[in-house]
Amino acid sequence: MEEPHPLRTILESAARGRFPEADGSVHVFPSPPGKSQAVCGFTAHHVISANVSHEEVLQRIDPSDLGAALNPTFVTWLGRRLEAAPGSLDVVLAASGLPDSPDGLLRESLPVEHARVSRADRYREQVTVYTTVNGEAVVVLGRGLAGRREVSLEIDEAARGRGLGRRLLLGARSLIPEDDVVFAQVAPGNAASLRAFLAAGFRPIGSEVLFLTS
């Protein structure tokens, strides 16, 4: 069996509570499999997985600045170097699988015309779409950065504010094996989404900026 990319190993270890050493270091790995390259930030530790050399990175990062790898100046330079516009800075959350769906809320769906699904198709592979029975929400699972399993969701505005997001995410967790983990990226300012993920047992593990390159 092929060894997983180092970035995936680091991410899945962090999801299980084993974080990189908080030593202020910046590690550079080759571009991961999939559609994106990335800068990932953990506590006093950064990982860059992209088609760029370690030497180039060190020339542009102040080692005394623990946030330098996610500084807008560096991220902008890296985007130009990769010929790929940087995405937003997101919080990365993760959770393990659950044994059973809490209420059978989700059902697998044929591909639907939806902005959330279109975005997932851009960034992920092996995309599977689920909807609620009445179609008021969509949940998408797929393989994203470095082949990790990722989840995203969208709820119709009229159905928000009733705890549906939490139930959907618990349902999504039940769709994966208990010994596996699933990741999500949420904009820091999206408080409603962050609250839903936290309520469903997801825990923040770091932050990241993606560079869509395929």
Extents of the domains making up the chain: 6-91, 92-204
Three-state DSSP class for 76?
A: helix
Q: What is the mean pLDDT of the chain?
A: 92
Instruction: Please give the pLDDT value at position 64.
Output: 84
Q: What distances in angstroms separate CA 32 from CA 36, 184, 192, one per listed residue? A: 7, 18, 31
Tens of pLDDT, residue by residue over 7-35, are 999 999 999 999 999 999 999 999 999 99
Provide mean pLDDT across the span 172-194. 95
> Which CATH architecture does the domain made up of 92-204 adopt?
3-Layer(aba) Sandwich (3.40)
Instruction: Please give the pLDDT value at position 110.
Output: 64
Structure tokens belonging to residue 209: 């900026």
Listing from the earlier edge strand, what are the strands of the sheet with 25-29?
25-29, 45-49, 36-42, 203-212, 90-96, 181-186, 149-155, 137-143, 125-132, 106-109
Q: What is the model's pTM?
A: 0.94
Tens of pLDDT, residue by residue over 93-151, are 999 999 876 667 888 886 677 788 888 889 999 999 998 878 788 999 999 999 999 99
Instruction: Please give the pLDDT value at position 101.
Output: 67
